[in-house]
Amino acid sequence: MNLFNKAVVSTMPMIPKALVGKIASRYVAGEQLSDAIAEVQNINKEGGLATLDILGEYSKNEAQAEQTVNSYKEILTTISDEGVDSNISIKPTALGLKMGYDVCFRNVRSIVKEAAMLNNFVRIDMEDHGCTDDTLRMYYELRKEFDNVGVVIQAYLRRTIRDVQWLKKMKANLRLCKGIYSEPRMIAYKDRDIIIQNYAFLLEELLQAGSYVGIATHCEETVWHGLKIVKQLGLNRDQYEFQMLLGVDPELRQIIMNEGHRLRVYVPYGEDWYPYSTRRLKENPQLAGSVAKDFLKLS
Ligand SMILES: Cc1cc2nc3c(=O)[nH]c(=O)nc-3n(C[C@H](O)[C@H](O)[C@H](O)COP(=O)(O)OP(=O)(O)OC[C@H]3O[C@@H](n4cnc5c(N)ncnc54)[C@H](O)[C@@H]3O)c2cc1C
């Protein structure tokens, strides 16, 4: 960790909430669903697609998880009523995973079923390594019943090369990302170059086997690998998409769309933006450093 990034992380608790809010406002659509829908409308106008995520800590009881289910159903109805082009991204821990697999499965299934009725799609985000088995199992079980569901895999995990073998056989709909959590070396690659190479390797395996992949990255090198693989395999634009987080490198977003590729923006919103923003920054010191540098440039 370089000194600047280390300093940003260690001073984080002293940064006033309003200042974190100013930094976060670029990356979070707002507190209300109406804010998020307005953001999606802008993205759609630019030619992009979106996926909506409600920010929040993990649910501490079943009632809280159920409330999150209802909020996601409200989003699905609003997407349909407003006619915007967006799906949703959900987190198993917000839907009761800490209370047990069965509670979470019931909640996720209920959202996926509602989405199917509204002709929409649900992406299950991937959290830290303690959630990986349950999240993949949930995806496997749901696919027996539904087509409108996808999951996320992380290129930094050593296990992903094995997971890809069964996922590609079932032509899984996947988002491939590098992984944002701080994981031990025993289970995750720590070297950036290896993660980039592993990402390209996994992407090629999946696209070649006919999986639909959301190529989620802001890294020019990984985007280049994606473009190269898409070209070499002669894929049509409806066989993959690029994905980026709201507020991160809008110029790269525009470059990718200008070249005719589908691009989906991950749009987080909600009242719980503060713990989300600080945790993301703490979990990724490099990111904390770049966000702070951006802020210094802006102010
Ligand atoms: C659409 C989408 C969905 C994701 N879903 C998940 C998930 O379900 N589970 C999971 O573990 N991870 C998820 N991630 C995060 C991902 O795993 C990486 O941690 C993150 O994208 C950084 O990797 P990178 O490929 O963008 O390359 P990097 O080389 O790490 O980043 C490239 C550039 O983008 C900037 N950048 C990257 N991320 C951010 C950010 N959040 N805010 C500000 N600047 C940033 C960096 O400063 C750097 O300049 C998702 C990412 C995207 C784009």
Q: What is the mean pLDDT of residues 182-200?
A: 98
- State residue 195's pLDDT score: 98
CA atoms lying within 13 Å on the CB side of residue 299:
9
d(CA 142, CA 92): 13
Nearest to 92 by CA among 119, 56, 116: 56
The band of 298, judged by pLDDT with boundaries at 50, 70 and 90, is very low
Tokens coding 290: 């770049």
Do residues 36 and 30 lie in contact, with contact meaning Cβ atoms separated by under 8 Å?
yes
User: Which tens digit of pLDDT belongs to each residue from 126-157?
Assistant: 999 999 999 999 999 999 999 999 999 999 99
- State residue 297's pLDDT score: 57
**SS3 of residue 1 by DSSP:** coil
Nearest to 72 by CA among 88, 84, 56: 88
Tokens coding 228: 């190269």
- State residue 283's pLDDT score: 55
* Ligand 1 center–CA 27 separation, angstroms: 12
The band of 274, judged by pLDDT with boundaries at 50, 70 and 90, is confident
The band of 273, judged by pLDDT with boundaries at 50, 70 and 90, is confident
* Ligand 1 center–CA 223 separation, angstroms: 12
Cβ neighbours of 270 (radius 10 Å): 20
Q: Whose CA is nearest to atom 11 of ligand 1?
A: 179
The band of 291, judged by pLDDT with boundaries at 50, 70 and 90, is low
Q: Which fold has domain 29-269?
A: TIM Barrel (3.20.20)
CB-ligand 1 contact for 48 (6 Å cutoff): no
Amino acid occupying residue 1: M
* DSSP states along 250-284: HHHHHHHHHTT--EEEEEEESTTHHHHHHHHHHH-
Does the pLDDT of residue 168 top 60, yes or no? yes
Tell me the average pLDDT of the chain: 91
**SS3 of residue 97 by DSSP:** helix
- State residue 289's pLDDT score: 64
- End-to-end CA, the chain: 25
27 CA: nearest ligand 1 atom: 42
CB-ligand 1 contact for 181 (6 Å cutoff): yes
Nearest to 134 by CA among 101, 163, 108: 101
Q: Where in the chain is the domain with CATH 3.20.20.220?
A: 29-269
User: Which tens digit of pLDDT belongs to each residue from 46-81?
Assistant: 999 999 999 987 889 999 999 999 999 999 999 999
Tokens coding 248: 């991160």
Do residues 279 and 55 lie in contact, with contact meaning Cβ atoms separated by under 8 Å?
no
- State residue 299's pLDDT score: 41
Q: Residues 51, 244, 259, 226: is their CA dihedral positive or negative?
A: negative
125 CA: nearest ligand 1 atom: 8
* Ligand 1 center–CA 163 separation, angstroms: 21
- State residue 130's pLDDT score: 97
Lowest mean pLDDT among 24-33, 198-207, 252-261: 24-33
Q: Ligand 1, from 23, 25, 177: best to mutate by most atoms within 8 Å of Cβ?
A: 177
Q: Whose CA is nearest to atom 28 of ligand 1?
A: 219
CB-ligand 1 contact for 243 (6 Å cutoff): yes
